[in-house]
Amino acid sequence: MNNIDNNTHHLASEFDEEVTVSLPHYHSFYQTVNLIKAMGIDPQTWLGTGRGTGALVDDATK
């Protein structure tokens, strides 16, 4: 059995590799985060987009 690194039965790295099958423009979400940061907007809340690594929200809150 794989060492699971999240609350699902799948490795987070597998999610990152396969997410574009379900969400073809998933990586564009990161561009949105960069745009919001560049505009100087400081949201109080970010919405996660799935059960993956949490990388999107981690990136948004840095």
Domain range summary for the chain, segments of one domain joined by +: 12-60
Q: What's residue 3's pLDDT?
A: 64
- The contacts of residue 29 (CB under 8 Å, 6+ apart) are 49, 56
The pLDDT mean for the chain works out to 76
- pTM of the predicted model as reported, rounded to 2 decimal places: 0.49
pLDDT in tens, 16-33: 778 788 888 877 877 888
Question: How many other β-carbons are positioned within 10 Å of the β-carbon of residue 59?
Answer: 14
Q: What's residue 60's pLDDT?
A: 75
The dihedral built from the CA positions of residue 5, 6, 8 and 10, taken in this order, carries a sign that is negative
First to last CA, the chain: 33
